[in-house]
Amino acid sequence: MKIFLLIEFAKDITKIDLIGIIFGHIIFGIALTQLLDWSWLKNLMNEEDKEKMLKGYNWKDLIVDISIISVVLGILFLIISAFI
């Protein structure tokens, strides 16, 4: 069943299809975020724990966060480049 192979799928999909899929996921993510109730997030930590966490946040934590985001974006672009 060649239809399920990634190589065959990459040959059949066009750039327009890929752009449509990506924008569709983005629109779905935004709509889902707007539809769900996120009010419970503010109750996860009390105010003093939030302040303690933010005071302990330094440049090393920022570098780690940026590197995680960079790896995720790199993997996403690698997957996208397989279809282009």
pTM over 0.85: no
Q: Which residue has the higher pLDDT, 42 or 59?
A: 59
Q: How far apart are CA 10 and CA 79, in angstroms?
A: 11
Separation between Cα atoms, residue 25 and residue 31, nearest integer Å:
10
Q: Give the pLDDT of residue 82.
A: 77
Residue 11 pLDDT grade (very low, low, confident, very high; cuts 50, 70, 90)? low
pLDDT at residue 60, rounded to an integer? 87
Structure tokens at 38: 């996120």
